[in-house]
Amino acid sequence: MSLLEGRALVHVYPGNVHALDRLDLRIERGRRLVILGPNGAGKTTLMLHLNGTLRPQAGEVRLDGQLMGYDTASLTAWRRRVGLVLQNADDQLFAAAVAEDVSFGPLNLGLDESETRRRVADALAAMHISHLAERATHMLSGGQKKRVAIAGLVAMQPEILLLDEPTAGLDHEGTEDLLAVLEELERSGTTLVFSTHDAELAYRFADEVALFEGGKILAQGPIAATLSDADLVKRAKLDTPFLLRLGLRARELGILGADEPLPRSAASALRLLDLVGGQSTL
Amino acid sequence: MSHIDTSAYLNRWRKKSLAEKSLLAFGMLLIAVSVSSWQAALLVAALMIGATLFGAGVAFPLWWKTMTVPIGFLFAGVFTLIFQVQLWHIGIAPHGLELAGRVGARAFAGLTCLLFLALTTPAADLAAGMRRIGVPAEIAEMMLLMYRFVFLLTDTAETMNAAQAARLGHITYRRHMKSLSLLIANLMPRALARAHALEIGLAARGWRGELRVLSPVRRASATGLGVILALEVLVLLFGLYTS
């Protein structure tokens, strides 16, 4: 049974725009899933359905196999377990200081003051921003705002954290730092789901991919196998990640055995090259 | 606007209790405007400038930059007190200079008090304080949200302004006015879209109509309040003695 599941979701915007067209998606506990698709495919719309912000015009969302409702009690329970980080951090931060803002979610969960303080401290530490606790929200950089926005949800300790284009607007270092803290978060038991249009990033970071285009999930499965299907990738208006191409070619040439893992980082790809260099000097 | 805010967050007295800071500012303000002695007004001004620059460590250039505009208004207002207009001529009013000096000194002292509070205390702290003394939560929340949105909207307006300038939108006075009207018209739907997005963002964090956050409590110390009160009594006595 999937942890969170969308079944035959339909959402049509005015003007007959089919953002979701009988879409199916499964999120498994502990599997890092990336929702990969071009800009304008409707990734944000899908995300908003997964935490109950938008209600599908047809279809259903199930959490732990349970059909989710849209009354206040159900939505409260839903959002307690499924956190959503919006693409624009400014849409999520409202309080004047960082620690105050992070305390908002735990207080909404009905936690008392001491527990809230503990959660805030833990969340700030998890995102490596304890030193920003007293700072004014509007004086932070883009990357810092992003982390505060994520900390605001981490403090609610959701089982699933949905991140809409988390690396948008971040520079190289900001992206690497963010991915590193997300990995730490995952080790503490949070299931990560993020959306992106960047196939390279997706290939490096995710276990599983859902290819999203034209309102449908074209395919969902282990990332290397799914993205190896060139035809499928093309239909999703994407390009096969360079690292994956390199790895597949290395297998073709016999440099890499069929059961050896494909390189997932620049460093491991370079080691592959060292291997070839070593052979040619023999 | 923005440099006042920066100072409010980064000054040395940021973490002093709101009660102490507002007792100092409003107490001194009350003395400055209610006691007619100009010597007392100057004493208040000196103390408050000292508190702002040496106590809270606000840089003088920043203090002066914030002060120039109100001082301009003050000067213009006081200047007219010197003269009197009679039927056929304008002349120096009897006691005009003295009156201008008194009013000017007291108004200046009042300014230093308010500036002290503005430069050492973030608007958000003031809103939280108002909530504690019984201002309805809705009003305090509105203040907080407006405060947050002022910065988002000024950022947007600045970006749009730069974009218009880059396309020669300010080349003549007429174009400039036209561009300005477009900018203002565009800010409205943007503000609404922002508000809608914020609503989604807050809902994702379990918002149910109340913006509750844990503000750090900064307890006022009895000694602190005592020292401030004693100082104010001394200034008041000095004022009564000299008036």
Domain count, chain A: 2
Mean pLDDT in residue range A123-151: 91
**B147: nearest CA partner in chain A:** A96
Share of chain A above pLDDT 70, in %: 98
What does the alpha-carbon distance between residue B197 and residue B230 come to, in Å, rounded to a whole number?
50
Please identify which residue in the block is written with the tokens 């004493």: B43
B69 CB neighbour count, 10 Å cutoff:
9
Mean pLDDT in residue range A253-271: 86
Say if residue A19 is in the same domain as residue A158. yes
- What phi and psi, each to the nearest 5 degrees, are found at residue B131? -65, -40
Angle made by CA atoms B96, B101, B105, in degrees to the nearest 5:
150
Say if residue B17 is in the same domain as residue B58. yes
Nearest CA-CA partner of A127 in A104, A150, A96, A145 = A150
Better pLDDT: B87 or A255: A255
Question: Which tokens go with B165?
Answer: 């300038």
pLDDT tens, A31-78? 999 999 998 888 999 999 999 989 999 999 999 999 999 998 888 889
Say if residue B25 is in the same domain as residue B78. yes
The contacts of residue A65 (CB under 8 Å, 6+ apart) are A1, A2, A5
Among A97, A138, A156, beta carbon nearest to B205: A156
Q: Which domain holds residue A227?
A: 4-240
Say if residue B17 is in the same domain as residue B110. yes
What does the alpha-carbon distance between residue A101 and residue A83 come to, in Å, rounded to a whole number?
15
Residue A219: pLDDT band with limits 50, 70, 90: very high
Residue B227: pLDDT band with limits 50, 70, 90: very high
What does the alpha-carbon distance between residue B239 and residue A212 come to, in Å, rounded to a whole number?
76
Mean pLDDT in residue range B81-108: 82
Shortest Cα distance from B190 to chain A (angstroms)?
12
What does the alpha-carbon distance between residue B116 and residue B51 come to, in Å, rounded to a whole number?
8
Nearest CA-CA partner of B25 in B98, B103, B99, B125 = B125
Say if residue A234 is in the same domain as residue A257. no
Residue B8: pLDDT band with limits 50, 70, 90: confident
Q: What is the CATH number of the domain that holds A56?
A: 3.40.50.300
| Cα atoms found within 13 Å of the Cα of residue B129, Cβ hemisphere only | 16
Shortest Cα distance from B206 to chain A (angstroms)?
6
What does the alpha-carbon distance between residue A272 and residue A242 come to, in Å, rounded to a whole number?
14
Say if residue A229 is in the same domain as residue A254. no
**Residue A282 reports pLDDT greater than 50:** no
* pLDDT attached to residue A279: 61
Say if residue A14 is in the same domain as residue A36. yes
State whether A100 and B214 contact (CB < 8 Å).
yes
Residue B76 is inside which H or E element, if any?
Answer: helix B60-82
Say if residue A264 is in the same domain as residue A193. no
Shortest Cα distance from B153 to chain A (angstroms)?
11
Nearest CA-CA partner of A269 in A207, A204, A199 = A204
* B124 and chain A in contact, CB less than 8 A: yes
* B9 and chain A in contact, CB less than 8 A: yes
Mean pLDDT in residue range A15-43: 92
pLDDT tens, B141-180? 888 888 878 877 888 888 888 888 888 888 888 888 988 9
Please identify which residue in the block is written with the tokens 């509105």: B142
Q: What pTM value is reported for the model?
A: 0.79
In a domain, B75, yes or no: yes
Say if residue B74 is in the same domain as residue B184. no
What does the alpha-carbon distance between residue B123 and residue B127 come to, in Å, rounded to a whole number?
6
Say if residue B197 is in the same domain as residue B227. no
Say if residue B54 is in the same domain as residue B93. yes
Residue B116: pLDDT band with limits 50, 70, 90: very high
Say if residue B100 is in the same domain as residue B163. no
Alpha-carbon Rg of chain A, whole angstroms? Answer: 20
Better pLDDT: A195 or A72: A195
* pLDDT attached to residue B122: 85
* pLDDT attached to residue B1: 53
In a domain, B172, yes or no: yes
Domain count, chain B: 2
In a domain, B213, yes or no: no
Interface test with A, best of B147, B213, B218 (most A CBs within 10 A): B213
Mean pLDDT in residue range B74-98: 81
* A116 and chain B in contact, CB less than 8 A: yes
State whether B9 and A53 contact (CB < 8 Å).
no
Contact of A194 with A163, CB cutoff 8 Å: yes
Max Cα distance, chain B (Å)? 73
Q: Which domain holds residue B170?
A: 129-204
Say if residue A139 is in the same domain as residue A170. yes
Shortest Cα distance from B68 to chain A (angstroms)?
25
